Amino acid sequence: MKKTILVVICMLSSICYAETIFLVCNVNGMVNSTYDSERLPNSNVSVEITKYPSHLSIIISGKDDYLQSVSSVKRPGNEVIDLTDQNIFNMTNIREISSGSIRQMTTQIEINRVTGIIAVRSEAIFRSGTFRNINYSGSCQRQQGRKF
Q: What confidence score (pLDDT) does residue 131 get?
A: 95
Q: Which residues contact 23 (CB under 8 A, 6 or more apart)?
A: 46, 47, 49, 111, 116, 118, 140, 141, 142, 143
Is the model's pLDDT at 17 over the cut of 90? no
Q: Which pLDDT score, from 0 to 100, does residue 76 have?
A: 87
CA–CA gap between residue 148 and residue 146 (Å, rounded) = 6
Is 5's pLDDT higher than 50? no
Put simply, whether the predicted model's pTM sits higher than 0.85 gets the answer no
Q: Under CATH, which number does the domain 17-143 receive?
A: 2.40.160
Residue partners of 126: CB distance under 8 A and separation at least 6: 101, 102, 103, 132
